[in-house]
């Protein structure tokens, strides 16, 4: 009986229960906080973070201290490419989106090659690539962001699609299903978990470790670029640091959701729950009407506390 309870109270379930508790706790701060409109708004905001954190989930599962620090820059690049290439025309999305996704995948693949072929540590490689991408953005744009957001993006992403629910919520659910299928129902997913647990054992078992790692970082880049496209549909414009604020919250969402930093164990459902937790914490701090400086301080302490709690797992300490 106790074992069954422990199994059901897995980190993703605990994170989801924490999100629900935080939502109703908001009613103690402001009775108007607990309502359907606010719930939809929180899920909508969490969706952007959750989609951007999808690729980070794969990278962290791959192990070997894998964290993709280029995600924020690739999010910005993906949004800028769609913004510039589409120039506000719906039909131009047919080639703007594939180009943006291909650019993200290429950057991710270069990260993977540098890590497994050259032997550069993931943090160093992805941090360096983030600088390269940011520099490339400045060279291409010269600081002038010319273009436009196609109207259909706002209609499919930000506007209510079914009832009061905006399209981004359904896109996030589709990403969740796709990630579950990838991790649990494909050979790549099984190989990814094996690589995360022990790369030597995985290689001796016939897993092509370099190919799996390169594919993982390529997917991370592709999903980050896709997150930039989705974020553009919400902001309707781009900034030179559009994706920067999502980098560390994306990592935190993955860890809070139960994915072990040492790799080999985790799920995207947990990341989705983690994104909800972080969004709710941010919303509650804003509801308390504290100064922004104090909000950042409190949020930082909460993130350190949550990550330390979820990170203190036996798998991580081994």
pLDDT in tens, 114-166: 999 999 999 999 999 999 999 999 988 887 888 899 999 999 999 998 889 99
Instruction: Find the range with the poorest average confidence among 13-27, 32-46, 95-109.
Output: 13-27
pLDDT above 60 for 5: no
Answer yes or no: are the C-beta atoms of 267 and 185 closer than 8 Å. no
* β partners of residue 160: 166
Query: How many domains, the chain?
Result: 1
pLDDT above 80 for 106: yes
The token pair at 250 is 């994306």
Helix (H, G, I), strand (E, B) or coil at 89: coil
Task: Specify if 230 maps to a domain.
Answer: yes
* Residue in 282, 251, 280, 261 with CA at minimum distance from that of residue 17: 280
Structure confidence at residue 316 as a pLDDT band (50, 70, 90):
very low
Helices and strands (DSSP H and E) totals, the chain? 15, 2
For 177-225, what is each residue's pLDDT tens digit?
Answer: 999 999 999 999 999 999 999 999 999 999 999 999 999 999 999 999 9
Structure confidence at residue 82 as a pLDDT band (50, 70, 90):
very high
The token pair at 218 is 């390529």
CB atoms within 10 A of CB 80: 25
- Model pLDDT, residue 269: 93
- Model pLDDT, residue 315: 44
Task: Specify if 91 maps to a domain.
Answer: yes
pLDDT above 90 for 314: no
Higher-pLDDT residue of 160, 27: 160
Mean pLDDT of the chain: 88
Task: Specify if 317 maps to a domain.
Answer: no
Tell me the C-alpha distance between 35 and 231, whole Å: 25
Higher-pLDDT residue of 174, 36: 174
CB atoms within 10 A of CB 124: 12
Q: The domain containing residue 156 runs over which residues?
A: 46-243
For 234-268, what is each residue's pLDDT tens digit?
Answer: 999 898 889 998 998 999 899 888 888 888 889 99
Task: Specify if 186 maps to a domain.
Answer: yes
Task: Specify if 139 maps to a domain.
Answer: yes
Task: Specify if 182 maps to a domain.
Answer: yes
Answer yes or no: are the C-beta atoms of 86 and 152 closer than 8 Å. no
Task: Specify if 71 maps to a domain.
Answer: yes
Mean pLDDT of 98-103: 97
Instruction: Find the range with the poorest average confidence among 4-18, 130-144, 163-177.
Output: 4-18
Which region, left, alpha or beta, applies to residue 68 given φ > 0 means left and ψ of -120 to 50 means alpha? beta
- Model pLDDT, residue 4: 54
Task: Specify if 72 maps to a domain.
Answer: yes
Answer yes or no: are the C-beta atoms of 260 and 313 closer than 8 Å. yes
Mean pLDDT of 70-98: 95
- Model pLDDT, residue 81: 95
E-state strands within the chain:
160-162, 165-166
Structure confidence at residue 100 as a pLDDT band (50, 70, 90):
very high
Residue 222 makes CB contacts below 8 A (sequence gap 6+) with 55, 101, 104, 105, 108
What letter would DSSP give residue 121?
A: -
């Amino acid at each position: 009986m106790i074992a069954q309870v422990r199994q059901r109270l897995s980190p993703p379930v605990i994170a989801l229960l924490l999100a629900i508790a935080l939502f109703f706790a908001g009613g103690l701060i402001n009775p108007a906080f607990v309502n359907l409109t606010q719930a939809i708004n929180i899920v909508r905001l969490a969706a952007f973070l959750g989609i951007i954190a999808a690729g980070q989930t794969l990278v962290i599962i791959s192990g070997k201290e894998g964290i993709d620090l280029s995600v924020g820059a690739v999010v910005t690049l993906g949004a800028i490419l769609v913004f510039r290439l589409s120039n506000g025309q719906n039909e131009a999305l047919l080639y703007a989106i594939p180009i943006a996704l291909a650019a993200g995948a290429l950057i991710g693949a270069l990260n993977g090659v540098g890590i497994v072929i050259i032997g550069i540590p993931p943090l160093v490689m992805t941090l360096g690539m983030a600088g390269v991408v940011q520099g490339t953005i400045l060279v291409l744009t010269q600081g002038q962001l010319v273009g436009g957001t196609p109207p259909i993006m706002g209609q499919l992403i930000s506007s209510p699609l079914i009832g009061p629910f905006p399209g981004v919520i359904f896109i996030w659910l589709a990403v969740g299903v796709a990630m579950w299928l990838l991790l649990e129902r494909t050979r790549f997913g099984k190989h990814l978990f094996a690589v995360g647990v022990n790369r030597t054992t995985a290689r001796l078992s016939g897993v092509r470790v370099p190919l799996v790692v390169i594919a993982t970082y390529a997917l991370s880049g592709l999903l980050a670029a896709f997150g930039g496209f989705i974020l553009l549909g919400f902001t309707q414009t781009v900034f030179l640091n559009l994706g920067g604020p999502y980098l560390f919250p994306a990592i935190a969402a993955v860890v809070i959701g139960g994915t072990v930093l040492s790799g080999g164990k985790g799920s995207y459902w947990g990341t989705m729950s983690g994104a909800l937790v972080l969004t709710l914490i941010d919303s509650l701090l804003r509801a308390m009407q504290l100064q922004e400086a104090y909000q950042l301080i409190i949020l930082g302490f909460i993130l350190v506390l949550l990550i330390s709690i979820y990170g203190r797992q036996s798998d991580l300490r081994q």
